[in-house]
Every structure is written in C-alpha cells, then in structure tokens.
C-alpha cells in the first residue's frame, strides 16, 4: 500500500516514508462552509479522504486548498512509523498559529493516529477539537455540531461492518485517468511490527456490486485505470448469504454465493476492456494461482504485483509473524514468473533491523532481492510501535546506526537491480496509458506500462487518458524514456 510515491522508487533512508507525501484539495470556492483536508500515509488513507469529502459535501461543505480560509481543517493521519506521527504533530503546530487568530476554526484529527491515541490526543494537542477514527466518518457532521455546542468531540468506534460501500467518493487531486477503489477495510493479520490491525480494526470486504458500479461510473466519466485497495486483497471474500443479499447473476464463479479476490478481479476486468485494473497489496501467504491465472486471462488486468517480503530470512519472518518462510515466498515468485512471465512487475516492502536480526539474516534479505529481481521496493528501518506484538514481546535491540547501514545496503541493492530491470526494457514496445504531462518537461507526457513502470515520451498530439504504444530508447533507475510508435 505504498504506491503513492509514484516514480520515486527508491527513497533515501531519512525520507523512506510514505507519510512525507501529502495532498490537499481544491474545489468550488462559492460554498458557504469550507473544508481543508490533508492526507498522510497509504493509499487507503487518501481514498478515505475522498469518502470524508463526500460526507462533508452532503453536509454543505466545499473544499479549499488553503487552510487559512477553512472553517474546518481535517488532517488524515498515519501511525505506521514514529516519523509519520511526528510529521503530523509538526503540522498541528503550524495550524495552531492560524487558529490563534481564528479561534472559530475547527481542527479534526482523522485516521490511524486518531484511532491509536483516541481522547489522549485532545490532551496532548490542545488545538484539536475533533478526533475521528477510520470507521467514524459518517459521524463527522454530528461531531462538528458537538463542537459548535462548545464540546470537544471523539468517535473512535471500530466497526465490523462499515465499508462505506454506498458513498460515492469525491475524487481529490485527480488526474481524471486513474483512481483508487477501496474493496475492503481493516486487517486480520497480526504482523508483529504493525500497528494497522489496531488502527483499522477487523478485516471486512465490501459488496462486489458496489465495487463494480464504482468502476463502471469511473469508466463512464473517462477514467481508464482503477486500483483495488486493501491491506491484503488476496483475502477478499464476500458472501451473499452472510450479507443477506441475492446471489450474483451472470457470474459463474460466484454461483456458490461467495466472491473471492480472483472472482472480483474478473468482474471488474469485465467492466470494459479499456479499463485497466490494478490492485494492492498482495500477501505472500494468500496469493493464489487462481489470481495469477485470472491476471493472465484478462489483458486489462495489469501485469504487476506488489508482494511485500519484509525480510528474506525465515527466522525473522517468523518473529514478524508473517506466516510464510523464505522458501514459501520464493515458491510464490516462481509461480508468478511461470504463469505471468519474466516481464511481470514485482515490487516489495522491506524492513531493515527488525528485533534480533543478525548480519547473516540481513544478508538473506539482500540475496532474496537478487533472486526475485524486484522492479522497485519501499524500504524502511524498523520503528517500534507501542502496543504491537513486537513491542510487547521483543527488545528493539538493533542500534539505529546499524539499522540505517543495513537499510542503505538494501537501498543500494535495489537501485542496482531497478536499473538492470529497466535496461532489459530498452528496445521493447509497451502499451502505455497516458496520465498527464511529465513532471520534468511540458513537451513530454508520462504514463505507465502494464508492469507499472513510468515511461516519458515526446508529447506530439497525444492526450491524457489515451493508450499509446511507446518504444523504450533509454532509461534511468526510476524511469523509462521512449517515443510513441504506430
Ligand atoms: N498491508 C501491507 C502493508 C501496509 S504498511 C502488507 O502487508 O504488506 C506498509 C509497509 O510499512 C509494510 O509493508 C512494512 O514494510 C512497513 N512497516 C509497517 N510497520 C512498520 C514498522 N513498525 N517499522 C518499519 N516499517 C514498517
Ligand atoms: Fe500490517 Fe501485516 Fe496487516 Fe500488512 S498484513 S497491514 S503488515 S498486519
Ligand atoms: Fe495506512 Fe498509515 Fe494507517 S499506512 S492504514 S495510514 S497506519
């Protein structure tokens, strides 16, 4: 779930955190009440901000891109590493200076940090008026009313059912071509380092009808790519019987009344052959050959899998409670290469310096990277999170300088592999979906190929949202450089 860092595939140690990327929104400036929302963390959080904006729009709020003008300021937060929370705290200090001159402005903390710290946040951050966890967004208009009546307002109730299935998200900062669709919420895996099961609650899958409908609506509006989001998409499971719904019609796979991830992928792929389908994140313990065969069968399901390994050593993986071994992981990668071929993009998340990791065990991570040949990775050093299994059971005993050195070795390794993987593509022609103007030059466009690689090429008369065949002539470690061909 770290794909937000688009064409920056390798991050230096100090910046290796998705939460340093933030977006804000802009909208119709004429509405009477104004909302400013800023998001940190994974795609799920960015997708949630679109749901929040939709809920707030119905309550008469329009969005603004400057927090100075806002009646309500929301900051949608991430708790994944300590640094993520520090970034948010710094930002709240900045909001404080505005609030000092504009005391009627309401400040709300949403998302994972709200869920982790609950009412404690109100004591720690005096300027905060509202604390709302990820399952409490429908309650935001009421929470705002409570503040109007002179109280502070908190809702951090975690639901077993909430999927916001019926809410049509307001697309924020959209390029009009690619969009996220949330297909499930929460996580039932208890990876020992991870705070997500505590901040997002139990796993639940969204009604597949509502997912297909959202994909269709996006396609009708001109979008050409959807990314299906979940912490572990492979465990997507929706049962008509459990949900008291009629069985799906015209869908052989779903005759049993149960829709698994492979079934869902097929359903979304059938929305239109020109709608690309991506998904994130896959879990090595759950990804099935059925999913791989479904990807192979449908040209519009992209040939790319984000399959976080976290470590290449079986003992460390066991301590991490990832519930697979190095051998199991390698078996899954072999299956991907066998069914989808050498060109299938594979990326990973890696954690350096987990509790008790030895130098030899760290070497196993590097050799796994050599074996898999990841196109890119998101790389972090271990940051202990209060309340997690690892924090309770193991000592965070690897000194920071060693964690950073190991992380840098992982980053250097990935840099070299990314460049080799990109060089393999020189001379090849890829179908590219154009997402917009290149960040470096207005004379160039940029898009991605099926394997999720960013390609830049001269603009000519091509437009955003079009598919174009691009021949790769050159590359860097992060980007392919080419030209459109017939
Ligand atoms: N559901 C996804 C991960 C979401 S969190 C999955 O299972 O892969 C994104 C990434 O943050 C994780 O894959 C992990 O590499 C990293 N991460 C999570 N907790 C961390 C911690 N305590 N310290 C450092 N990195 C962490
Ligand atoms: Fe965290 Fe593991 Fe769940 Fe991913 S699968 S969100 S790493 S607990
Ligand atoms: Fe995402 Fe951060 Fe929460 S990664 S699920 S926003 S802790």
Residues of 151-165 as b/e, b for ≥16 C-beta within 10 angstroms? eebbbbebbeebbbb
CB of residue 211 inside a 6 A radius of ligand 1: no
Mean pLDDT of the 365-386 span: 98
Pairing of strands 33-39, 72-77: parallel
Q: Please tell me whether residues 10 and 133 are part of one structural domain.
A: yes
Q: CB atoms < 10 A from the CB of 331, how many?
A: 12
CB of residue 233 inside a 6 A radius of ligand 1: no
State how far the alpha carbon of 6 is from the alpha carbons of 48, 340, 455, in Å: 19, 23, 12
Q: How far apart are CA 65 and CA 70, in angstroms?
A: 9
Residue that wins the pLDDT comparison between 15 and 126: 126
Which CATH number covers residue 196?
A: 3.80.30.20
Binned at pLDDT 50, 70 and 90, residue 245 comes out as low
Q: Best mutation site among 78, 197, 202, 323 for ligand 2, i.e. most ligand atoms within 8 A of its Cβ? A: 197
Q: Any idea which ligand is nearest the CA of 1?
A: 1
Binned at pLDDT 50, 70 and 90, residue 251 comes out as low
Hey, what's the torsion of the CAs at 113, 119, 121, 126, to 10 degrees? 150
Q: CB atoms < 10 A from the CB of 131, how many?
A: 25
CB of residue 444 inside a 6 A radius of ligand 1: no
Q: Please tell me whether residues 235 and 133 are part of one structural domain.
A: no
Q: Does residue 163 contact residue 214 with C-beta atoms inside 8 Å? A: no
Sole residue written with tokens 């009009």: 176
Q: Please tell me whether residues 200 and 320 are part of one structural domain.
A: yes
Largest CA distance in the chain: 66
Q: Any idea which ligand is nearest the CA of 197?
A: 2
Q: How far apart are CA 63 and CA 66, in angstroms?
A: 9
Angle in degrees, CA 51, 53, 58, rounded to 5: 100
CB of residue 185 inside a 6 A radius of ligand 3: no
Question: What per-residue confidence (pLDDT) applies to 223?
Answer: 98
215 C-alpha to ligand 1 centroid (Å): 28
Q: Is 410 exposed, middle or buried (0-12, 13-18, 19+ CB in 10 A)?
A: buried
In a domain, 169, yes or no: no
Q: Please tell me whether residues 406 and 464 are part of one structural domain.
A: no
336 C-alpha to ligand 3 centroid (Å): 27
Q: How far apart are CA 51 and CA 168, in angstroms?
A: 7
**What confidence tens digit (pLDDT) does each residue in 265-320 have?**
999 999 999 999 999 999 999 999 999 999 999 999 999 999 999 999 999 999 99
CB of residue 191 inside a 6 A radius of ligand 2: yes
Mean pLDDT of the 464-474 span: 98
**What confidence tens digit (pLDDT) does each residue in 171-216 have?**
998 999 999 999 999 999 999 999 999 999 999 999 999 999 999 9
% of the chain exceeding 90 in pLDDT: 86
Sole residue written with tokens 């030895």: 358
State how far the alpha carbon of 407 is from the alpha carbons of 310, 350, 382, in Å: 12, 9, 9
Q: Please tell me whether residues 394 and 445 are part of one structural domain.
A: no
Question: What per-residue confidence (pLDDT) applies to 28?
Answer: 44
Which CATH number covers residue 33?
A: 3.40.50.12160
- Secondary structure class of 212 (helix, strand, coil): helix
Nearest to 390 by CA among 310, 306, 307, 282: 310
CB of residue 305 inside a 6 A radius of ligand 3: no
What domain count does the chain have? 3
**What confidence tens digit (pLDDT) does each residue in 348-366 have?**
999 999 999 999 999 999 9
Q: Any idea which ligand is nearest the CA of 21?
A: 3
DSSP assignment of 308-369, as one string? --B-S-HHHHHHTT-S--HHHHHHHHHHHHHHH-TTSEEEEEEEES-TT--HHHHHHHHHHH
DSSP 423: H
Q: Does residue 21 contact residue 50 with C-beta atoms inside 8 Å? A: no
Q: Please tell me whether residues 322 and 249 are part of one structural domain.
A: yes
CB of residue 231 inside a 6 A radius of ligand 1: yes
Residue that wins the pLDDT comparison between 341 and 3: 341
In a domain, 168, yes or no: no
Question: What per-residue confidence (pLDDT) applies to 325?
Answer: 98
Q: Best mutation site among 5, 43, 45 for ligand 3, i.e. most ligand atoms within 8 A of its Cβ? A: 45
Q: Is the peptide bond before 281 cis (omega within 30 degrees of 0)?
A: yes
Pairing of strands 376-381, 429-437: unpaired
CB of residue 308 inside a 6 A radius of ligand 1: yes
Q: Does residue 108 contact residue 76 with C-beta atoms inside 8 Å? A: no
Q: What is the C-alpha R_g of the chain?
A: 22
331 C-alpha to ligand 3 centroid (Å): 29
Question: What per-residue confidence (pLDDT) applies to 186?
Answer: 97
Q: How far apart are CA 332 and CA 400, in angstroms?
A: 32
Pair of tokens at residue 443: 């004379």
Q: Best mutation site among 194, 307, 324 for ligand 1, i.e. most ligand atoms within 8 A of its Cβ? A: 194
Q: Which domain holds residue 207?
A: 178-423
Q: Any idea which ligand is nearest the CA of 310?
A: 1
CB of residue 195 inside a 6 A radius of ligand 2: no
Q: Please tell me whether residues 240 and 315 are part of one structural domain.
A: yes
Q: Does residue 436 contact residue 446 with C-beta atoms inside 8 Å? A: yes
Binned at pLDDT 50, 70 and 90, residue 486 comes out as confident
Question: What per-residue confidence (pLDDT) applies to 255?
Answer: 59
Q: CB atoms < 10 A from the CB of 336, how many?
A: 23
- Closest ligand 2 atom, residue 195 Cα: 1
In a domain, 121, yes or no: yes
Rounded to 5 degrees, what are φ and ψ at 431? -80, 120
195 C-alpha to ligand 1 centroid (Å): 9
Q: Please tell me whether residues 234 and 345 are part of one structural domain.
A: yes
112 C-alpha to ligand 3 centroid (Å): 6
Question: What per-residue confidence (pLDDT) applies to 158?
Answer: 97
- Residue 224, pLDDT above cutoff 90: yes
Residue that wins the pLDDT comparison between 245 and 451: 451
Structure pTM?
0.93
Q: Does residue 138 contact residue 118 with C-beta atoms inside 8 Å? A: no
114 C-alpha to ligand 3 centroid (Å): 11
437 C-alpha to ligand 2 centroid (Å): 34
Pair of tokens at residue 415: 């840099």
CB of residue 271 inside a 6 A radius of ligand 1: no
Of 384, 408, 423, the one marking the end of a domain is 423
In a domain, 440, yes or no: yes
CB of residue 42 inside a 6 A radius of ligand 3: yes
Q: Best mutation site among 4, 21, 38, 42 for ligand 3, i.e. most ligand atoms within 8 A of its Cβ? A: 42
Q: Please tell me whether residues 268 and 328 are part of one structural domain.
A: yes
Nearest to 292 by CA among 280, 305, 309, 281: 305
What's the half-sphere exposure (Cβ side, CA atoms, 13 Å) at 43? 23
State how far the alpha carbon of 355 is from the alpha carbons of 21, 215, 239, 315, 390, in Å: 28, 42, 39, 11, 8
Length of the chain: 486
In a domain, 271, yes or no: yes
Q: Please tell me whether residues 436 and 394 are part of one structural domain.
A: no
- Closest ligand 3 atom, residue 1 Cα: 4
Pair of tokens at residue 265: 């992928």
CB of residue 78 inside a 6 A radius of ligand 3: yes
CB of residue 351 inside a 6 A radius of ligand 2: no
């Amino acid at each position: 779930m770290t794909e937000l860092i688009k064409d920056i595939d390798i991050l230096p140690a100090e910046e290796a955190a998705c939460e340093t990327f933030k977006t804000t929104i802009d909208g119709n400036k004429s509405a009477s009440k104004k909302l400013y929302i800023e998001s940190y963390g994974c795609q799920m959080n960015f997708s949630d901000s679109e749901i929040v904006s939709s809920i707030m729009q119905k309550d008469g709020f329009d969005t603004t891109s400057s927090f100075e003008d806002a009646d309500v300021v929301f900051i949608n937060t991430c708790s994944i590493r300590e640094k993520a929370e520090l970034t948010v705290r710094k930002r709240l200090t900045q909001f404080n200076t505005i609030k000092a001159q504009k005391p009627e402005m309401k400040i709300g903390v949403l998302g994972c940090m709200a869920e982790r710290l609950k009412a404690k946040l109100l004591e720690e951050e005096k300027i905060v008026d509202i604390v709302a966890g990820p399952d409490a967004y429908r309650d935001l208009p009421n929470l705002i009313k409570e503040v109007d009546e002179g109280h502070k307002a908190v809702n951090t109730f975690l639901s077993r059912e909430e999927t916001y299935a019926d809410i049509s998200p307001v697309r924020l900062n959209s390029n009009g071509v690619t969009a996220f669709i949330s297909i499930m919420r929460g996580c039932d895996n208890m990876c020992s380092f991870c705070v997500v099961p505590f901040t997002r609650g139990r796993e639940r899958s969204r009604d597949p009808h509502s997912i297909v409908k959202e994909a269709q609506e996006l396609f009708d509006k001109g979008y050409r790519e959807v990314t299906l989001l979940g912490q572990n998409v492979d465990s997507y499971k929706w049962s008509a019987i459990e949900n008291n719904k009629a069985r799906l019609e015209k869908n052989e796979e779903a005759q049993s009344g149960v829709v698994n991830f492979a079934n869902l992928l097929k359903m979304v792929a059938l929305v239109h052959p020109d709608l690309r389908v991506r998904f994130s994140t896959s879990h090595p313990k759950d990804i099935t050959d059925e999913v791989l065969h479904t990807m192979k069968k449908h040209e519009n399901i992209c040939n790319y899998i984000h399959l976080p390994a976290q470590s290449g050593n079986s003992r460390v993986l066991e301590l991490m409670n990832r519930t697979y071994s190095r051998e199991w992981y390698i078996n899954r990668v072999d299956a991907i290469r066998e069914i989808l071929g050498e060109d299938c993009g594979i990326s990973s998340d890696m954690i350096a310096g987990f509790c008790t990791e030895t130098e030899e065990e760290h070497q196993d991570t590097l050799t796994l990277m050599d074996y898999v040949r990841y196109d890119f990775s998101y790389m972090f050093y271990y940051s202990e999170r209060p309340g997690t299994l690892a924090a309770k059971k193991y000592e965070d005993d690897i000194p920071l300088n060693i964690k950073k050195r190991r992380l840098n070795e992982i980053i250097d390794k990935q840099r070299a592999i990314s460049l080799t993987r990109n060089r393999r593509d020189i001379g090849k022609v890829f179908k590219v979906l154009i997402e917009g103007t290149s960040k470096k030059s207005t004379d160039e466009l940029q898009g991605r190929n099926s394997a999720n690689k960013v390609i830049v090429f001269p603009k000519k008369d091509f437009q955003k949202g079009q598919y174009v065949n691009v021949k790769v002539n050159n590359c860097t470690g992060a980007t392919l450089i080419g030209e459109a061909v017939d």
